[in-house]
Amino acid sequence: KSNVSRLLAAEDASRVKSGFLANMSHEIRAPIQAIVGYAHMLADLELSADERKKMSRAMSRSGDFLLQLVKDILDFSKIEAGRMDIDILPVSPWYTISEVFETLGLQANKKGIKLLAIPEGDIPVLFHTDPTRLRQILVNLLGNAIKYTLKGEIKVRVKIDHIEDIPGDCLVFSVEDQGPGMDDKQMAALFNPFVRAGKGFSSRIEGTGLGLTIANRLARLLGGFIR
């Protein structure tokens, strides 16, 4: 039974890896094709200045998407290989949130969205975690919230709570947006690599489909989780 279990586990791992590589190949190919295609079109001397600007912006967006995808794949690979370094340091929760708001402020302002930080109860001045990984998690969660919110506000609630199966008290960050929401099927697959939202408005949102996977695994490396 032990040999059969190991064989089945190896087959499952192989299927997951093959699926990951297939998705990765598709995700990388699309922006590269866009960049190459627009580069050829820009060689046309008869294009107007306005057309060149539009194509240049499209190439820039594709380049930004490709760069983010490569970063996400590298982070994902490090986590899978157990090589993601974690440095636990004294961290200010409010300074961390202010840094995240500063990073995403322009993106939120363009859509007229307010970013609010709301304490619930007494919050420690400092707590111990990896500040870089915490920022990465919060930027991902808030970035998603901004993408899916058309207007209104996004709240980050912070509190101290005791979580089952985790020793001691935890600092809990809750991100609340005003997006379209998710159904049970979408939520069940939320942390799988390259999973994107389904049809309609959500399917038009740009993203690599790796951000929440990485954020969830980083949270586990820090001794917590995302739900």
Average pLDDT value for residue range 76-98: 90
Quote the tokens at residue 195. 């999973």
Q: What angle do CA 170, 172, 173 make, to 5 degrees?
A: 155
* 140 and 146 Cβ atoms separated by less than 8 Å: no
pLDDT at 97: 95
The answer, yes or no, to whether residue 196 has pLDDT greater than 90, is no
The answer, yes or no, to whether residue 203 has pLDDT greater than 60, is no
The answer, yes or no, to whether residue 197 has pLDDT greater than 70, is no
d(CA 173, CA 100): 13
Quick one: which of 202, 201, 196, 122 has its CA closest to 159? Answer: 122
Burial class of residue 137 in the structure, from the number of CB atoms within 10 Å of its CB (0-12 exposed, 13-18 middle, 19+ buried): buried
Average pLDDT value for residue range 84-88: 91
HSE-up (13 A, CA, CB side) for residue 197: 17
The answer, yes or no, to whether residue 205 has pLDDT greater than 70, is no
d(CA 84, CA 98): 25
Query: Model-level pTM?
Result: 0.76
Task: Label residue 149 by pLDDT band (50, 70, 90).
Answer: very high
Which letter, b or e, does each residue of 31-60 get, where b requires 16 or more Cβ atoms within 10 Å of its Cβ?
beebbeebeeeeeeeeeeeeeeeebeeebe
Average pLDDT value for residue range 194-199: 60
pLDDT at 16: 58
Task: Label residue 93 by pLDDT band (50, 70, 90).
Answer: very high
